[in-house]
Structure 1
Amino acid sequence: MADVAAASLFGADRRLCSADILAPAEVRARIEVAVLNFLSALASPTSPAISVLPLISRTSANCSLRSSLLSDVSSVYLSYAFCKRSLMRENNAKAFVRVWKVMEMCYKILGEGKLVHQRELFYKLLSDSPKYFSCQRHVNRAIQDVVSLLRCTRQSLGVMASSRGALIGRLVLHEPDEEQIDCSILGASGHAITGDLNVLSKLNLSSDARYIIVMEKDAIFQRLAEDRLYNQLPCILITAKGYPDIATRFILHRLSQTFPNMPIFALVDWNPAGLAILCTYKYGSISMGLESYRYACNVKWLGLRGDDLQLIPESAFQELKPRDSQIAKSLLSSKFLQISAPSVCQGPRVYGSGYGLCTGLGWLQDKECKQITEDEAIQIAGSADSSCPDPSS
């Protein structure tokens, strides 16, 4: 066990700020090390104490961007600053207990050789410890704390996030020992993306598409799927139906790795939430900063430019909601977004998409900033300029 302790995150690898993909036995060994460290501090003959849990800080102050040496993909990474979960602090005593409860449940799940969805884990913990887990958010944060403590991926813990994603178009999926799925002959709902990353990692992918188009809205995805856009424009359409889940990000990353010359465009709302979604696909998120590099892709924003807004009637705009303003403030304070603003703004001008980005990030500061309504977006799409330049230009 001493060897495990020396080789684990509690020893030599504290220099590394990334989450490893580990076998169940290794994850269970790391949990055992955490327990031994806790008991050792508690049983100290000189100064017994309840040890704190040292977690990598998941805050904007502790994050930045790193670039890949082998590609033009950048991703969020977390530096070496730590935060602590302590039983002795009133404001995070419950969070301290939640970490141990989640580790206990994961230890049991891994021992049984199973995987559970995050929602299923919530119900298990709600039944077992209702005092500490009253909502899904408590479980989600505790899982991220465990990832930060043990330095292993969520999937390595035996936990799957529920997937909302779907894809359709010029893509054939072939899982070993299963029939292949031709995504070009599916209905408008497309192929549902499984939340099991192990299954997604084993898929054989083949495609004759020229583009990958990621859509924020499921309604737009289904509209384009019904129109069989991919028969006119050889492409793969993919959506997470809102904010991207891990499984959708994972399969998009796999597509980018399998077809490195296939450009990826994101069709998102012209508002702060749309930019946040784009950045999650492109760079990852701070909350999952230890894993972000595993899912980051070179995604470009497909849509309008600020100069194009004069073509849109005032009736097509809506006032931003308080939640949008909150997201805008968060984006403006983000160090990595300020660093990467020029690359975020890169991408083709496409008339009629109904979505877009003003040049630069100044539009986020505009109190009068508004978003384009979806109905108007569809109308604009229907009357798109036939002289629209090729997206590859």
Structure 2
Amino acid sequence: MEDLRNASLSFFSDQQLCYADILPPFEVLARIEVAVLNFIRILTSPAPAVSDLPLIARNWSNGRVSQGMLTRVPWIYLSGSLCTRSLMRANAAKAFIRVWKVMEMCYKILAQEKRVTQRELFYKLICDSPDYFLSQLEVNRTIQDVVTLLRCSRYSLGIMASSRGLIAGRLLLEDPDEEVVDCSVCGSSGYAISGDLNLLDKLILKTDARYIIVVEKHAIFQRLSEDCIFNQIPSILITAKGYPDIATRFLLHRMSRAFPELPILALVDWNPAGLAILCTFKFGSIGMGLEAYRYACNVKWLGLRGDDVQLIPAESLVPLKPKDLQIAKSLMSSNILQENYREELASMVQTGQRADIEALYFHGYDFIGKFIAKKIVQANYI
């Protein structure tokens, strides 16, 4: 899989597609030192100046999708279009300084052989530099600026992923200390996915499942786990409790590489947000910048689909909210949606309604498991 990914990067090199490397700490430290030395060299030159920081633009207009020419999975990439952070423009000066502050902090973290979460980094930065960091969002965006400047992953910078994800079902996880977790006996709460990507990468994965089922909602995940649906349908259940965090996407991607024969099926609400969540798992996300492609998986849309709405009483359908319409507009303007996804999205907008998975409980609390089994048979996955 990794060889195909590298081949894909090489194939698209003529389009100047950009990506972040996974680097050892000593190489990241060297890249930071070179960036600092170049900055000092410019300042101390005969004609001193403060140059702008050239960063890869992280927006849909700069996004490209490899259409799976060399692999089954299309991925979101960013091309070589640049934006800048400038010390000479009032509206960008603080952002310029924030990049150097985060690089400084990452240098200290790596030199001390430590790792921190984005949240921990935020609290450290607001204590050290309160004039420049007012919110977690500013820290998150600046981390991505540093990723694009140094062309290395955030994990290479010493920043761990905070994880909301859970996993359950027919999966054995063996860590480097040879402790084995059986995810089929973790109860309705499932097993909490670690935010340490290095640990997740070292896990030995074993399964006799036939499917991997991505569940959008925590409550649905709990119901399916409590009912041990994975014994009726040999499967692994995974949830990020909504929009997927990096650690959950990383583990799903690892499973897709370890078990390439297993279909990955997504159970999401029939609304624009549900489709956006599915697309994030399937293609990656622009918000992840140069790292987006590393977490893409060949996820198939199990349900809810437009044809499933007939199973739901009209009283359970909910009008689309302004936020739903905003998400729909963003998805429609992107170039990642395949035609049948566009048709589903257009149908949502046209009807002005959304259907939540929970509405299937109208048929009984065990109906969702039956629904999944029927959809798998209809889709010819078996």
Supply the distance in 1 between the matched residues of 2:176 and 2:70 (Cα, whole angstroms): 29
Supply the distance in 2 between the matched residues of 1:18 and 1:273 (Cα, whole angstroms): 27
Deviations 1:39-77 (A, max 9, x none): 11211213x111111001111111111145553011000
Given that 2:270 and 2:306 are in contact with CA atoms closer than 8 Å, whether structure 1 keeps it comes out as no
Q: Which moved more, 1:89-98 or 1:381-390?
A: 381-390
Q: Which residue is equivalent to 1:379?
A: 362
Supply the distance in 1 between the matched residues of 2:348 and 2:66 (Cα, whole angstroms): 24
Structure 1 residues 320 and 236: alpha-carbon distance in aligned structure 2, compared to 1, 3 A threshold = same
Structure 1 residues 181 and 324: alpha-carbon distance in aligned structure 2, compared to 1, 3 A threshold = same
DSSP-derived class of the 2:140 partner: helix
Q: Which residue is equivalent to 2:145?
A: 145
Q: Which residue is equivalent to 2:91?
A: 91
Q: Which amino acid aligns with 2:256?
A: S
Shift of 1:372: 1.7
Q: Does 1:363 align with 2:347?
A: yes
Given that 2:17 and 2:78 are in contact with CA atoms closer than 8 Å, whether structure 1 keeps it comes out as no
Q: Which residue is equivalent to 2:3?
A: none
Deviations 1:208-256 (A, max 9, x none): 0000000110000000000000111100000001110111001000100
Q: Which amino acid aligns with 1:200?
A: L
Q: Which residue is equivalent to 2:38?
A: 37
Supply the distance in 1 between the matched residues of 2:112 and 2:214 (Cα, whole angstroms): 37
Q: Which amino acid aligns with 2:18?
A: C
Supply the distance in 2 between the matched residues of 1:164 and 1:387 (Cα, whole angstroms): 29
DSSP-derived class of the 2:297 partner: coil
Structure 1 residues 149 and 298: alpha-carbon distance in aligned structure 2, compared to 1, 3 A threshold = same
Supply the distance in 2 between the matched residues of 1:161 and 1:61 (Cα, whole angstroms): 27
Supply the distance in 2 between the matched residues of 1:44 and 1:34 (Cα, whole angstroms): 16
Q: Does 1:254 align with 2:254?
A: yes
Structure 1 residues 313 and 103: alpha-carbon distance in aligned structure 2, compared to 1, 3 A threshold = same
**Equivalences for 1:80-229 in 2 at 5 Å?**
80-229=80-229
DSSP-derived class of the 1:266 partner: strand
Deviations 1:165-202 (A, max 9, x none): 01010000001223111111111111110011100000
Structure 1 residues 35 and 380: alpha-carbon distance in aligned structure 2, compared to 1, 3 A threshold = farther
Shift of 1:332: 1.1
Using the size of structure 2 for normalisation, the TM-score is: 0.90
Given that 1:55 and 1:84 are in contact with CA atoms closer than 8 Å, whether structure 2 keeps it comes out as yes
Q: For structure 2, which runs of at least 5 residues remain unmatched after alignment?
A: 1-14
Shift of 1:364: 4.9
DSSP-derived class of the 1:157 partner: coil
Using the size of structure 1 for normalisation, the TM-score is: 0.88
Supply the distance in 2 between the matched residues of 1:286 and 1:60 (Cα, whole angstroms): 7
What percent of counterpart residues are identical? Answer: 61
Q: Which residue is equivalent to 2:11?
A: none
Shift of 1:311: 4.0
Given that 2:312 and 2:360 are in contact with CA atoms closer than 8 Å, whether structure 1 keeps it comes out as no
Q: Which amino acid aligns with 2:284?
A: G
Q: Which has the higher helix share?
A: 2
Shift of 1:322: 2.0
Supply the distance in 2 between the matched residues of 1:62 and 1:114 (Cα, whole angstroms): 34
Q: Which residue is equivalent to 2:12?
A: none
Shift of 1:309: 2.7
Q: Which amino acid aligns with 2:63?
A: C
Deviations 1:267-299 (A, max 9, x none): 111111111110100000012131122111000
Shift of 1:304: 3.8
Supply the distance in 2 between the matched residues of 1:263 and 1:388 (Cα, whole angstroms): 13
Shift of 1:15: 5.4
Shift of 1:365: 4.0
Supply the distance in 2 between the matched residues of 1:178 and 1:44 (Cα, whole angstroms): 56
Supply the distance in 1 between the matched residues of 2:324 and 2:217 (Cα, whole angstroms): 16
DSSP-derived class of the 1:289 partner: helix
Pairs aligned (count): 362
Shift of 1:262: 0.2
Q: Which residue is equivalent to 1:9?
A: none
Supply the distance in 1 between the matched residues of 2:333 and 2:201 (Cα, whole angstroms): 35
Given that 1:213 and 1:237 are in contact with CA atoms closer than 8 Å, whether structure 2 keeps it comes out as yes
Q: Which residue is equivalent to 1:350?
A: none
Q: Which amino acid aligns with 2:260?
A: P
Shift of 1:379: 2.6
Q: Does 1:341 align with 2:339?
A: yes
Shift of 1:38: 1.2
Given that 1:197 and 1:247 are in contact with CA atoms closer than 8 Å, whether structure 2 keeps it comes out as yes
Supply the distance in 2 between the matched residues of 1:325 and 1:132 (Cα, whole angstroms): 34
Q: Which residue is equivalent to 2:9?
A: none
Supply the distance in 2 between the matched residues of 1:380 and 1:29 (Cα, whole angstroms): 60
Given that 1:195 and 1:247 are in contact with CA atoms closer than 8 Å, whether structure 2 keeps it comes out as yes
Given that 2:269 and 2:304 are in contact with CA atoms closer than 8 Å, whether structure 1 keeps it comes out as no
Given that 1:64 and 1:77 are in contact with CA atoms closer than 8 Å, whether structure 2 keeps it comes out as yes
Given that 2:16 and 2:79 are in contact with CA atoms closer than 8 Å, whether structure 1 keeps it comes out as no
Given that 1:196 and 1:247 are in contact with CA atoms closer than 8 Å, whether structure 2 keeps it comes out as yes
Structural RMSD (CA): 1.9
Q: For structure 1, which runs of at least 5 residues remain unmatched after alignment?
A: 1-13, 346-358
Given that 1:341 and 1:361 are in contact with CA atoms closer than 8 Å, whether structure 2 keeps it comes out as no
Supply the distance in 2 between the matched residues of 1:255 and 1:389 (Cα, whole angstroms): 20
Q: Which residue is equivalent to 2:302?
A: 302
Given that 2:305 and 2:344 are in contact with CA atoms closer than 8 Å, whether structure 1 keeps it comes out as no
Given that 1:167 and 1:183 are in contact with CA atoms closer than 8 Å, whether structure 2 keeps it comes out as yes
Supply the distance in 2 between the matched residues of 1:61 and 1:170 (Cα, whole angstroms): 41
Supply the distance in 1 between the matched residues of 2:227 and 2:79 (Cα, whole angstroms): 46
Structure 1 residues 72 and 255: alpha-carbon distance in aligned structure 2, compared to 1, 3 A threshold = same
